[in-house]
Amino acid sequence: MPAAPFVAKLNEQIANEFAAHQQYVACAVYFDGETLPQLAGFFYRQAMEERDHAMMMVQYLLDTDAPVEIPGVVPPVSTFDDVVAPIALALEQEKRVTAQINELAGVARQAGDYSSEQFMQWFIKEQVEEVATMSDLLRVAQRSSDVQDIEDYVVREQSGEGADPTAPRAAGAAA
Ligand SMILES: [Fe+2]
Ligand SMILES: [Fe+2]
């Protein structure tokens, strides 16, 4: 079984990932309501990724016979002043998650739990990508006077990526 402090922290992180899922659904619904289908689609896809992150962590705990607690989540922010606000909030969220993921790797290392430390490596790499994606999108959104330019950018640069064969298995996903 993984080190107890890591198990406790990973269970907390499952709640953070589900909260990120809910937040991105809220962002997607906001953009859908504004008839910005590309931004909506982008955030719906991001939401699914966050759910997958949570379920990968669930699977790891299942695989290692560690206790899993499926959490409730805090309500997301659902009203936004303008189209830039949800993206700025998303970038803040990704930076916060990056700190949480790094801390998890640190807890595993400190406990001498090398399997758990290795499990966190994929998430560390993933966070670098997610922060980069979101800060690029924020920059584009901030300098676009026409919201259609943001939509075009999403089509061009963020129309979704293929499956990542190196990703940990998510609970409930086909093996
Ligand atoms: Fe995540
Ligand atoms: Fe993320």
97-140 pLDDT, tens digit each: 999 999 999 999 999 999 999 999 999 999 999 999 999 999 99
pTM above 0.85, yes or no: yes
- Compute the distance between CA of residue 138 and CA of residue 164 in angstroms, rounded to an integer: 25
Nearest Cα to Cα of residue 7 among 52, 70, 71, 60? 60
| Assigned token pair, 148 | 């259609």
- 57 CA to centre of ligand 1 in angstroms: 10
- Compute the distance between CA of residue 159 and CA of residue 11 in angstroms, rounded to an integer: 31
- Compute the distance between CA of residue 102 and CA of residue 68 in angstroms, rounded to an integer: 21
- 65 CA to centre of ligand 2 in angstroms: 26
Contact 50, 21 (CB under 8 A): yes
136-171 pLDDT, tens digit each: 999 999 999 999 999 999 999 988 777 888 999 999
**Per-residue model confidence (pLDDT) at position 134:** 98
DSSP state of 162: -
- 145 CA to centre of ligand 1 in angstroms: 30
**Per-residue model confidence (pLDDT) at position 160:** 77
